[in-house]
Amino acid sequence: MADLNGMTDWEKLKGMLQQKEAATALKAIDEKALLAHLRSRVKGQDPIVEDLARLLRLQFARKNSNRPLANLLMLGPTGTGKTELAKALAEALFGDEKAMLRFDCSELSGEHSKDRLVGMPTGYKGSEEGGHLTRPVLSNPRRLILFDEIEKADSIVFDLFLQLMGEGRLTEQGSGKVADFTQSVIILTSNSHAEEIGKIQDSHTDYHEMVNGVKGYLADAKVFRAEILGRIDRVYVFRPLSGMIVAEIALLKLSQLAKSYGLAVKFVAPELVLKALADNEKVSRFGIRELERILFDMFADPLASAREQGAKEVQFDVADGKVVVRKA
């Protein structure tokens, strides 16, 4: 039947479906722009970000998929950029770092870990609240989902990983609703066997040969279940960061800290920051993982004082052998 505008019910329904499809369609990925964004935030891991930008451009270009956009395993020592890369991806792909769901797998080591992720079964207290993983994805399927230190997760969580990464869906226990992960990126990280993996890194100059060596080691040592490795699209091995790379990262975080006080930073030589970090015993004790906190302890007070004095831009100099903040 046609209405006054000459449109049949089918035509109107078809138009509504097309509008819905357009609203949920994944945007095309500009590989160069994505690569530039990742390089601006993740330092010292160029082979990884280059391959990842290409992979995601190809994955986002696909019309249909029955599994997540990408299942990634990131290995390497703590403080080498794994979490920072995940945050940068969430911002670039989904518009906001808040699109990232992050789970510490040391908190998923008990027998009730499954209930936390996919909700309590019907009839149990809290079943109407849903799972910490399924409920956010039900509300917005465009997500980056990060599972940190997966080697610490309970075996029942690995069973969920098989379904999540293989079929791209999980059923919430209390509601029976199906969470769709086919518009999500899944990242698993691990610091496990870092010493052995480090030796493999040192024995290869070619990045891709090194990754193949690590994959072989993981399979032979049964570090992860073979079914899990079979569902991984890429294994990325992060290299330890050199002193100058640490200084570059510190410069980025220093600029972010100053910005939080409404200040711009005049050019600072990386050597100057490196000296400040070398003079700070906390860096040698805690490493780059604690970099933001260390920089806050070192510079928050003088930055706040500069702002209170009406400064809009600051510079860093050396006075009496120490790095000081001055109004530019």
We report the CATH number of the domain holding residue 260 as 1.10.8.60
CA distance linking residue 324 with residue 46, whole number of Å: 32
Q: Which residues span the domain enclosing 81?
A: 27-237
Domain end marker among 237, 263, 281: 237
Check whether residue 116 and residue 208 sit in a common domain: yes
Residue 235 is encoded by which pair of tokens?
């294994």
Residue located via tokens 């970099």: 291
Residue located via tokens 């006075």: 319
**Do residues 120 and 161 lie in contact, with contact meaning Cβ atoms separated by under 8 Å?**
no
- 94-127 residue pLDDT tens: 988 888 999 999 999 887 889 999 988 877 777 7
Check whether residue 205 and residue 74 sit in a common domain: yes
Domain end marker among 176, 211, 237: 237
Check whether residue 69 and residue 184 sit in a common domain: yes
- Say how many C-beta atoms besides its own lie within 10 A of residue 86's C-beta: 23
12 is a domain residue: no
- Say how many C-beta atoms besides its own lie within 10 A of residue 255's C-beta: 14
- Say how many C-beta atoms besides its own lie within 10 A of residue 313's C-beta: 12
140 is a domain residue: yes
Check whether residue 134 and residue 171 sit in a common domain: yes
Predicted confidence at residue 23, as pLDDT, reads: 44
Helix (H, G, I), strand (E, B) or coil at 104: strand
Helix (H, G, I), strand (E, B) or coil at 214: helix
Check whether residue 37 and residue 81 sit in a common domain: yes
Check whether residue 273 and residue 233 sit in a common domain: no
6 is a domain residue: no
- 192-207 residue pLDDT tens: 887 788 888 888 888 7
Instruction: Provide the angle, in degrees to the nearest 10, between the axes of the packed helices 207-221 and 194-202.
Output: 140
We report the CATH number of the domain holding residue 67 as 3.40.50.300
2 is a domain residue: no
Predicted confidence at residue 324, as pLDDT, reads: 79
Predicted confidence at residue 39, as pLDDT, reads: 93
**Do residues 106 and 160 lie in contact, with contact meaning Cβ atoms separated by under 8 Å?**
no
Check whether residue 189 and residue 314 sit in a common domain: no
Check whether residue 139 and residue 218 sit in a common domain: yes
Check whether residue 141 and residue 271 sit in a common domain: no
154 is a domain residue: yes
Predicted confidence at residue 12, as pLDDT, reads: 54
Predicted confidence at residue 288, as pLDDT, reads: 65
b vs e for 217-252, b when ≥16 Cβ sit within 10 Å of the residue's Cβ?
Answer: ebeeeebbeeebeebbbebbbbbbbeeebbbbbbbe
Helix (H, G, I), strand (E, B) or coil at 174: coil
CA distance linking residue 198 with residue 252, whole number of Å: 27
3 is a domain residue: no
DSSP state of 8: B
Into how many domains does the chain fold?
2
Predicted confidence at residue 1, as pLDDT, reads: 47
Mean pLDDT in order along the chain per 10 residues (328 residues): 53 50 62 93 91 93 85 87 93 90 91 88 78 93 93 88 92 90 94 82 82 82 82 88 78 87 81 66 59 84 90 82 77
Check whether residue 194 and residue 262 sit in a common domain: no
98 is a domain residue: yes
207 is a domain residue: yes
Check whether residue 170 and residue 64 sit in a common domain: yes
**Do residues 75 and 237 lie in contact, with contact meaning Cβ atoms separated by under 8 Å?**
yes
CA distance linking residue 251 with residue 246, whole number of Å: 9
CA distance linking residue 120 with residue 134, whole number of Å: 11
Predicted confidence at residue 15, as pLDDT, reads: 55
Residue 111 is encoded by which pair of tokens?
């027998």
Check whether residue 251 and residue 231 sit in a common domain: no
Domain end marker among 218, 237, 256: 237
CA distance linking residue 204 with residue 211, whole number of Å: 9
